[in-house]
Amino acid sequence: MKFEYPLFLVLPILYIVCYKLCPPKRAAILFPHVEYASKLTSNYILQFLIIVCSAIALANPYIPITSIDYKNSDAIVLSIDSSGSMANDNKFGVVKQVAKSFVSQRGNDKLGLVIFGTNAFIASPLTYDKDFIKDILQRSYVSIAGEQTAIMDSLLQSIRMLRNTKAKSKIIILLTDGMDNSSKVSLNTVIKAIKKYHIKVYTIGIGDANYPLLQYLAQISHAKSYYASIQNLAEIYQDIDKLEKSPIQHKHLYKKTLFMYPLALAIILMLFMIRPFRMFR
């Protein structure tokens, strides 16, 4: 909680000083119709509490609320091969660490995760929760989706996540180390969907990947294709991060004002200082 006019908080101190140096001769209040009015009770504690509550109300306490404008953000799906061959040279372990680092850098963006092997499944829908994505990555393991490789199926799952989003850019980052040998979806179906929904497909081939296919997918989607090794994988993700960098997010500050609560309490305390009076003689 913060105060918009904190100087008013010194009023209770001034009241104490004035009360000690200039004590009132009598406690009284004037009303237009004295016959219906009551006299104030000379109660120092109540008076002080009223001053405190009034000072807090005048200081205008508020809770700052920050909202973030994500209208310029990207929607990115990481499509990662977890087939049996990704166990060689701990490729999958390195990919997980590099992908988690990439996720951390995309503060503005919505990210999703597709894991594929023999089958392809959505491990995480599009979300701004980067910690959730990293946790799912950490829990993933080689062959979690089967031993084989379903590249086209993984792309179709990724497209399904991206097709209805209103993000500035729709991006798939596909990483694989093999040939497509278990997809149920054809290449033509995937290409039509990529063009229809204006999706960029960045492809990363590692090991014995089908490089002509990966280059073609990147080319027709106006993206870029990479040949990766364990050593330069982090550099590739950094390059993609630079190519698809989102603008800095815009923060808007709102205030939830709270002055009405101490003000209401001050009014209630004032009522306790007024003696009951008779409306009729």
Question: Each residue of 100-129: pLDDT tens digit?
Answer: 999 999 877 899 999 999 999 999 999 999
Confidence (pTM): 0.67
Q: Delimit the CATH 3.40.50.410 region(s) of the chain.
A: 71-243
Q: Which residues pair with 175 in a beta bridge?
A: 80, 204
**Reported confidence tier of residue 41, pLDDT bands at 50, 70, 90:** very low
Q: What is the mean pLDDT of residues 27-35?
A: 47
- Could you read off the pLDDT of 162-204 as tens digits, one per residue? 999 988 899 999 999 999 999 999 999 999 999 999 999 999 9
**Reported confidence tier of residue 251, pLDDT bands at 50, 70, 90:** low
Q: What is the mean pLDDT of residues 78-91?
A: 96
Query: Cβ(206)–Cβ(236) under 8 Å?
Result: no
Query: Cβ(162)–Cβ(125) under 8 Å?
Result: no
pLDDT recorded at residue 69: 55
pLDDT recorded at residue 36: 40
Q: 142-160 burial, b if ≥16 CB within 10 A, otherwise e?
A: bbbbbebbbbbbbbbbbbe
- Could you read off the pLDDT of 133-160 as tens digits, one per residue? 999 999 999 999 999 999 999 999 999 9
Secondary structure class of 33 (helix, strand, coil): coil
Average pLDDT across the chain, whole number: 86
Rounded alpha-carbon distances, angstroms, from residue 279 to 30, 36, 41, 265: 17, 6, 19, 26
- Better-scored residue on pLDDT, 42 or 53: 53
- Domain 71-243, CATH among 3.40.50.410, 3.30.559.10, 3.30.2290.10, 3.40.50.300: 3.40.50.410
Spatial strand order of the sheet with 120-127 comes to: 120-127, 110-116, 75-81, 170-176, 199-206, 225-228
Q: Looking at the predicted structure, is the pLDDT value of residue 23 above 80?
A: no
